Chain A
Amino acid sequence: MNDRLKIGNQELSSRLFLGTGKFSSNKIMPGAIAAAKAQVVTVALRRADQAYPEENILNYIPKDCILMPNTSGARTAEEAVRIARMSRAMGCGDWIKIEVISDNRYLLPDNQETIKATKILADEGFVVLPYMSPDLMSAKRLVEAGAAAVMPLGAPIGSNRGLQTKELLRILIEEIELPIIVDAGIGKPSEAVEAMEMGAAAVLVNTAVATANDPVAMAEAFHLAVKAGRQAYLAGLGRVMQSNASASSPLTGFLHE
């Protein structure tokens, strides 16, 4: 089946994007990325710590992965733009996940600042994937600003609470022509299946894999879930009855007749 996800000028066969935060050791990462069959992997940019100059995360990410640095830590569009430019200077491509957060309790993204940063960076040739609160008007503005995909949250970052924003996600999937990638909140493979069945183009998972007892096995479970959900979406779900039942077997030829 030739079912590719086109983002920027890349065609992806994998619809599971994997984050690299919170792993107990970098050494687990290559196995998890391989088991997830992830082609897009996120990283963050931070001040270099002199104490551990040898610990280069790029050594643990396969070279054929697309690296998607995020702008975590940015509280304004201006800070996100600065982080994005520094990230691109690392020489690992021009994908960027915009993440602008000034709310420290729920870590909810600031859509207005995210739109501003998206416009500036898209104009500079970045492939921009903004993380956002699922709001239709904001998503439309992200499209106009030049985003390559839109990444609404399912639940607050790292919460593993699933698709709390389901109805809003459904509306974005229906109304926005760009790929919708559910980012943040997905805690279980069943929730990834659900997002994909709804027509999400991909999901981005980090905490659910990194904090599992066996991250490699969980990465594979998510790979299978995303595949199953995507195939169910393409197959077209059967209809749902609002009440009563509908027999699956014939209602004639019973032995008691």
Chain B
Amino acid sequence: MEISVNGKPVTIEGMMSLTQFVQSRGFKPQTVVVEYNDEIVKMQMWEGIVLKPHDRLEIVTFVGGG
């Protein structure tokens, strides 16, 4: 199925929780914030969210800036 991650289409196979997805992309959960369909979801909630077609994720992190 296809979901949107940071504005780009991404295809995933089978059932996947948000935790599994974030880890599969190589992110350390403590270093990112996730918006799931426009709502910020705390890390503790990720395990309970199973991704479905057309979900929209924004995964953001801190970078250098002034």
Given known A-B contacts A43-B62, A48-B61, A72-B65, A53 and B25 have beta carbons under 8 A apart: yes
> Residue B64 contacts which of A23, A85, A86, A92 (CB distance < 8 angstroms)?
A23
Q: In the complex, what's the smallest C-beta–C-beta distance from A92 to chain B, in angstroms?
A: 8
Residues of A within 8 A of B17 (CB): none
A14-22, A142-150, A161-169, A219-227 - interface stretch: A14-22
Q: In the complex, what's the smallest C-beta–C-beta distance from A103 to chain B, in angstroms?
A: 17
Are B28 and A53 closer than 8 Å at their CB atoms? yes
Are A44 and B64 closer than 8 Å at their CB atoms? yes
Bin the interface of chain B by size.
20 to 34
Are A48 and B64 closer than 8 Å at their CB atoms? no
Are A204 and B33 closer than 8 Å at their CB atoms? no
User: Is A70 in the interface zone, CB < 8 Å from B?
Assistant: yes
Bin the interface of chain A by size.
35 or more
User: Is B16 in the interface zone, CB < 8 Å from A?
Assistant: no
Are A47 and B6 closer than 8 Å at their CB atoms? yes
Are B59 and A47 closer than 8 Å at their CB atoms? yes
Are A47 and B64 closer than 8 Å at their CB atoms? no
Interface residues of A in 28-74 (CB under 8 A from B): 29, 42-48, 50, 53, 56-58, 67, 69-70, 72
Are A44 and B58 closer than 8 Å at their CB atoms? no
Q: In the complex, what's the smallest C-beta–C-beta distance from A143 to chain B, in angstroms?
A: 23
Q: In the complex, what's the smallest C-beta–C-beta distance from A153 to chain B, in angstroms?
A: 11
> Residue B40 contacts which of A44, A46, A69, A89 (CB distance < 8 angstroms)?
A89
Residues of B within 8 A of A (CB): 6-7, 25-28, 31-33, 35, 40, 42, 58-66
Question: 4 closest Cβ contacts across the A-B interface?
Answer: A44-B65, A19-B66, A206-B66, A20-B64
Residues of A within 8 A of B (CB): 19-23, 26, 29, 42-48, 50, 53, 56-58, 67, 69-70, 72, 85-87, 89-90, 92, 157-158, 184, 204, 206-207
